[in-house]
Amino acid sequence: MKKKANLFRTPNFPSKIFYQDCIENHKKFRIFITDTYEHAPELFPEDFIKGFTFHSTVTSVKQDDFKMRRIRLKNQSQDVYQIRPSFMMPYMIAETADVEKALYLRRWGVPFDALAYVFGHDAMFWQRAYVSLGRNSVVGTTIKSPDHLPQDLAADEKHSRIKGEKTYIATTVAQECILGCALAETASADGLALAYGEYKEEARNQNPDYSPDTVNTDGWEATQKAWKKLFPSIVIILCFLHSFLKIKERCRRSKELLKMIGDKVWHVYHSENLARFSQRIRRLREWVSDFEDSPVKKAVLDLCGKASTFKGPFKNPNAHRTSNMADRMMNYQDRVLYAMQYFHGSEESARLSLRAMALIWNFHPYGSRAKNNNPDLISPFHRVNKRCYHENWLQNMLVASSMGGWRR
């Protein structure tokens, strides 16, 4: 994976005319760049603080000979970077304003042929514009400060297909954002560790010492082993909801039995502290032991037998006790993937599509109903970083993806 792009984007150019004026006026451009650096140093190379000189210009034939400025850093390696405005798409395929509404509709899986019919161009134009977003670091683009890296995660795998062959999407979520979504050829511990390792690589590019405290998973042992392999000190927390759903499946014929057991199980879940939880789980075990042998009794005893894996949140109060957040993110994945009938191209194309899907989710503007509880929040990115670079969601994403989202 490419870890460093030879360009960085700066926000809030008033217009294309202003940018072109800066090309010809070095003093004006230097003032703009240094002011932007003071407000958002995370968008710039680490060695930018050592100073820079203007280097040359690059002309885009695709955009009617649009010129862009390049600078050379005053570091030992004399790195050269291109300064690209956020009103231009990657690879200079179009201006952002001309494509942002079509790409916004990709959040709902609108087919590329439909986008071509409504917005022009052809299906391949929109497919390439979409997957180009996935070349950026998902973690680095979404989380702009190492201080905001999550300590409590939720993870799960979604089953999918590439050309009819089964594959697994290792999905890592936190803070209402999708922070990892990589393909795994197998559901073994080694296969999943390789896939979840993409999240580790991107997070440690932000902070080399990063290690999360907890991860919530379902009961798949390979998932738990994969996370232990990546972060040996991490606390594995079993999803309480999954264990209850197994009980629910075995109570289909008796709603009364389900309500009776459900009240007791969730009474255990809502324990105020670890001592109360341990006491209630013992009482639940004693209560169900008087039942006749049945699948329901076995499911409840299985839940009681996993008590140690449910105790983590009492020592880590911010940990996820259920996989609800991961389920919500994966429901979004499921809707989009079902609409496109999964993947029909190469594995790399599928990988980039998944990453683009994650970034569009992380940067999409909240609807009016989602803002009811907190009308000041603009998007999941805003929720995490407490700031936005641009009022337009796509330009905000492009600015955040400066240097491909990689800092080191």
Indicate the pLDDT class of residue 1, thresholds 50, 70 and 90: very low
Note whether 130 and 113 are within 8 A (CB).
no
CA distance 219 to 31: 56
Q: Half-sphere exposure of 142 toward its Cβ, with a 13 Å CA cutoff?
A: 33
CA distance 155 to 138: 15
Mean pLDDT, rounded, for 305-321:
90
For the chain, give the percent of residues with pLDDT over 90.
Answer: 73
CA angle 390, 392, 394 (to 5 degrees): 100
Place of tokens 């927390």: 237
By mean pLDDT, which of 42-56, 192-206, 228-242, 368-382 is the weakest? 368-382
CA distance 122 to 145: 38
Residue 162 has pLDDT above 70, yes or no: yes
Closest alpha carbon to 126 in 117, 118, 115, 135: 115
Mean pLDDT, rounded, for 44-57:
92
By mean pLDDT, which of 240-249, 281-290, 371-380 is the weakest? 371-380
pLDDT score for 252: 82
CA distance 169 to 195: 8
CA distance 64 to 174: 42
Residue 408 has pLDDT above 90, yes or no: no
pLDDT score for 10: 61
Mean pLDDT, rounded, for 320-345:
92
Note whether 209 and 176 are within 8 A (CB).
no
**CB count in 10 Å sphere of residue 253:** 8
Mean pLDDT, rounded, for 314-327:
91
Residue 110 has pLDDT above 60, yes or no: yes
Mean pLDDT, rounded, for 347-376:
90
pLDDT score for 6: 57
pLDDT score for 368: 82
Residue 11 has pLDDT above 90, yes or no: no
CA distance 89 to 108: 21
CA distance 97 to 167: 36
Please tell me the pTM assigned to this model: 0.91
Closest alpha carbon to 246 in 306, 287, 292, 189: 306
Residue 2 has pLDDT above 50, yes or no: no
At 54-109, the pLDDT tens digits run 999 989 888 888 888 899 999 989 999 998 889 999 889 999 999 999 999 999 99
Indicate the pLDDT class of residue 123, thresholds 50, 70 and 90: very high
pLDDT score for 4: 47
CA distance 157 to 94: 35
pLDDT score for 12: 59
The more confidently predicted of residues 179 and 293 is 179
Place of tokens 């040996």: 232
Indicate the pLDDT class of residue 21, thresholds 50, 70 and 90: confident
pLDDT score for 17: 81
Note whether 299 and 265 are within 8 A (CB).
no
Full 3-state SS string of the chain? CCCCCCEEEECCCCCHHHHHHHHHCHHHHHHHHHHHHHHCHHHCCHHHHHCEEEEEEEEECCCCCEEEEEEEECCCCCCEEEEEECCECHHHCCEHHHHHHHHHHHHHCCCHHHHHHHHCCCHHHHHHHHHHHHHCCHHHHHCCCHHHCCCEEEEEEEEEEECCEEEEEEEEEECCEEEEEEEECCCCHHHHHHHHHHHHHHHHHHCCCCCCCEEEECCCHHHHHHHHHHCCCCEEEECHHHHHHHHHHCCCCCHHHHHHHHHHHHHHHCCCCHHHHHHHHHHHHHHHHCCCCCHHHHHHHHHHHCHHHHCHHHHCCCCCCCCHHHHHHHHHHHHHHHHCCCECCCHHHHHHHHHHHHHHHHHCCCCCCCCCCCCCCCCHHHHHHCCCCCCCHHHHHHHHCHHHHCCC
Residue type, 39: H
Mean pLDDT, rounded, for 395-403:
94
pLDDT score for 201: 97
Place of tokens 């990546």: 230
CA distance 302 to 244: 10
Closest alpha carbon to 192 in 159, 165, 214, 162: 159
Residue 7 has pLDDT above 90, yes or no: no
For the chain, give the mean pLDDT: 91
